[in-house]
Structures are given as C-alpha cells and as structure tokens.
C-alpha cells in the first residue's frame, strides 16, 4: 500500500501572532512524516481563516507562496471554530486519504500525529487525540473544561473524555460525516456517531505559544449548550420527570387541603401560597426555556443555511 495523503486542517481566527511561529513547526512535522515514508509528498497543511480581522489571511497567503505544502481557504466571515474545522474537512474531502484537525496555537502536541498515522495504518478510521495532562492550563480553564465534560455526559451527550478537536479522520469516515447535514455543529459528538474502528492517542497539552484564547467562558457555555441539544433530548425528559414529581406532590397537597377544609381547620396561609406560586412559576419558565432552546434549534435546522461559505482559496480550482 502506498503512503496515504494527509491533509492537516487548521482553523485560524485572529492568529497573526502565533501563525508565523507554528506554521513552520507543522511543515517540519509534515516533511519528517514524508521522509519516514508514513505519508505521501502530496500531503498538505490546510489553514482555514475563520473571518479574521487581523493579518491572518495575508500570512496564510504568503505561506502558500513560500511552500507548496501550505494551502489555505478563507471563510467569508467569522463562523466559529466548529464551522471552520468542518469547512476545512469538507474542502479536503476527495483530495486526500486522511485528515488531521488541529488548533493553530501549538497547544496540541504535533508529535502525536505520527502515532495517529500509525493507528490509521493499523486499520483505524478515526483516531482521537486525548489530553493526558492539563497542568499548563489555568486552574479556571481546567476546572471549567472538566465540568464541561461531566455536565455533557450527565445530560446524555456522549463524548470522548478530554478529547477536543485534535483527531484523524479517514476519507471514508469523512464521507460518512458529510452525510450529517446538521447546522448546529458539535463535531466531537458527531464523529463518534459516524462509527468505524477508532482508537485514542494520548498527548500532553502545552501552553498557547502566543496570542490569547479565542474561547472565553461565554463561547464554552454556548458550545456546551450546542453539544447537549444537538446530541441528546435528555433535558426534555428530565423536565418531564420533574413535572411529574411536582404534580404528584401537588396532588397530595390538594387532598390535604380538602381534608383540612372538611375538618374546618382552614387557616389563611398567605406565605405558603405565595411560595408555591413563585416556585412553580420559576420552574415553568426554566422548563419553557429548555423547550425553547430545542425549538430554536429546530428553527435553525429547518432553514438549512449553508454551514460555511468560502470566499477565497490559495489555489485555483482544478489545480490541486
Ligand atoms: N478559532 C476559530 N474561530 C473562532 C475561535 C477560534 O477558528 O471563532 C480557532 C483558533 O484560531 C484556534 C482554535 O480555534 O486555532 C482553538 O481556539 P483557542 O486556542 O483560542 O481555544 P482554547 O485552546 O483556548 O480552548
Ligand atoms: Mg488553544
């Protein structure tokens, strides 16, 4: 079997500080894998500019002129990390045998790529990069991220623990993934649904080489909500069981009230009535909010808007 062609897909959003440092690291890794005979020389490093407002796209264009292994596409506007990765994967589809998606900030250890390609050679279609340590993350980032995985699994959304979006996907798994047409993307939940033989490769996560995180808490919460609502209907079931419990308690309360009235033992209970009304009102609003979240998702899905729009490429179509 000849060496497979690898496309490394790298989303970049306002990364002018970090790209000039990490791009040569990716290239060195790619070339050393080529020399080891693990991948073909037609392999490429594909940057996906996610509507950056700084010089990121100019840097990507310069890189692509400096070495043929660098190529890039640009999204017409910022659509977020998940859409950027998907855009890259879908563009790479049909051009290669395997893809590896990785962040551009040097946090994901590129040396794990060799092991990923080995696992592919052993017959795996999906190889998850799993973080073995988070020591370099801040305490806040570490605990929120761990809470994120725990919360997801509690809500019925199964994901690979401590796996972000550093993973290898084979061409046929990518073809299968392209059949998932959802607009609300949560790739780390979707890829396990694709199936095929998979394995994990451990790597240690280091600090961002330069620049700052583009994933503030707000975006992490949005990602968690997207993950839960796109993978599971467990929250809906939970409010159903909660509703049943409240209904049961109310029923007992009603019987108690009737018995008390018959016995003539009715004392005006303003405080208890107010508490119950407020409590049930609050719970109902939360439940409506959860249902609303799902209705909103259905609304967005029925529009079936394009998941990404590419405004520029560093190559002419048909030439690569
Ligand atoms: N990213 C992106 N679009 C966005 C936000 C982030 O393409 O709207 C990219 C970013 O350039 C990086 C990756 O997604 O390559 C992960 O982002 P970051 O390193 O900021 O997240 P963190 O590692 O702090 O979770
Ligand atoms: Mg990062």
Condensed to tens digits (0 to 9), the pLDDT of residues 124-179 reads 999 999 988 666 667 777 787 778 788 888 887 778 888 889 999 999 999 999 99
Query: Is the C-beta atom of 107 inside 6 A of ligand 1?
Result: yes
Provide the pLDDT for residue 134. 64
pLDDT digits (tens, 9 = 90+) for 285-308: 888 888 888 888 888 888 888 888
Give the CA dihedral 115, 39, 124, 224, nearest 10 degrees.
70
Say how many Å lie between the CA of residue 163 and the centre of ligand 1. 15
Provide the pLDDT for residue 158. 76
Q: Atom of ligand 1 at shortest distance to CA of 211?
A: 20
Tell me which residues have their CB within 5 A of the ion that is ligand 2: 103, 105, 107
Alpha-carbon torsion 53, 54, 58, 63, what sign? negative
Query: Is the C-beta atom of 148 inside 6 A of ligand 1?
Result: no
DSSP readout, 81-135? HHHHHHHHHHHHTTT-SEEEE--TTS-S-TTHHHHHHHHHHTT-SEEEEEEEE-T
Q: Atom of ligand 1 at shortest distance to CA of 13?
A: 11
Provide the pLDDT for residue 142. 76
Say how many Å lie between the CA of residue 216 and the centre of ligand 2. 11
Provide the pLDDT for residue 136. 67
> Would the pTM of this model clear 0.75, i.e. be above it?
yes
Provide the pLDDT for residue 139. 79
Provide the pLDDT for residue 135. 66
Take atom 8 of ligand 1 and give the residue whose Cα is closest: 80
Pairing of the two strands 6-12 and 44-49: parallel
Residues whose CB is less than 8 angstroms from the CB of residue 49 and which lie 6 or more positions away in sequence, other chains included: 12, 13, 56, 57, 60, 72, 73, 74, 75
Query: Is the C-beta atom of 19 inside 6 A of ligand 1?
Result: no
Say how many Å lie between the CA of residue 72 and the centre of ligand 1. 16
Local structure of 271: helix, strand or coil: helix
Length of the chain: 320
Say how many Å lie between the CA of residue 203 and the centre of ligand 2. 14
Q: Which ligand lies nearest to the CA atom of residue 308 in the structure?
A: 1
Say how many Å lie between the CA of residue 177 and the centre of ligand 2. 24
Quote the CA–CA distance of 166 and 113 in Å, as a whole number.
Answer: 9
Provide the pLDDT for residue 140. 78
Spans of the chain, pLDDT less than 70: 1, 133-137, 318-320
């Amino acid at each position: 079997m000849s060496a497979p062609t690898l496309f490394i897909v790298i989303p970049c959003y306002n990364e002018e500080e970090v790209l000039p440092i990490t791009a040569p690291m990716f290239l060195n890794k790619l070339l050393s894998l080529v020399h080891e005979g693990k991948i073909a020389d037609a392999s490429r490093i594909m940057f996906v500019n996610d509507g950056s407002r700084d010089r990121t796209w100019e840097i990507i264009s310069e890189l692509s002129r400096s070495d043929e292994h660098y190529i890039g596409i640009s999204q017409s506007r910022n659509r977020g990390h998940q859409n950027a990765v998907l855009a890259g994967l879908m563009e790479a589809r049909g051009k290669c045998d395997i893809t590896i998606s990785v962040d551009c900030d040097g946090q994901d250890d590129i040396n794990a790529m060799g092991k990923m390609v080995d696992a592919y050679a052993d017959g795996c279609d999906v190889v998850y990069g799993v973080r073995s340590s988070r020591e370099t993350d801040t305490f806040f980032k570490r605990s929120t991220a761990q809470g994120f995985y725990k919360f997801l699994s509690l809500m019925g959304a199964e994901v690979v623990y401590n796996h972000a979006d550093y993973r290898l996907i084979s061409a046929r798994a990518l073809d299968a993934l392209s059949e998932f047409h959802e607009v609300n993307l949560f790739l780390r939940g979707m890829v396990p649904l694709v199936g095929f033989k998979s394995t994990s490769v451990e790597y240690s996560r280091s600090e961002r080489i330069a620049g700052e995180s583009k994933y503030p808490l707000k975006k992490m919460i949005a990602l968690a909500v997207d993950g839960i609502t796109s993978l599971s209907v467990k929250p809906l079931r939970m409010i159903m069981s909660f509703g049943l419990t409240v209904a049961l308690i109310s029923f007992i309360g009603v019987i108690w009230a009737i018995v008390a009235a018959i016995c003539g033992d009715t004392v005006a209970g303003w405080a208890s009535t107010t508490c119950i009304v407020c409590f049930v009102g609050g719970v109902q609003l939360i439940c409506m909010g959860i249902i609303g979240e799902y209705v909103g998702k259905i609304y967005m899905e029925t529009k079936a808007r394009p998941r990404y729009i590419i405004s520029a490429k560093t190559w002419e179509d048909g030439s690569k």
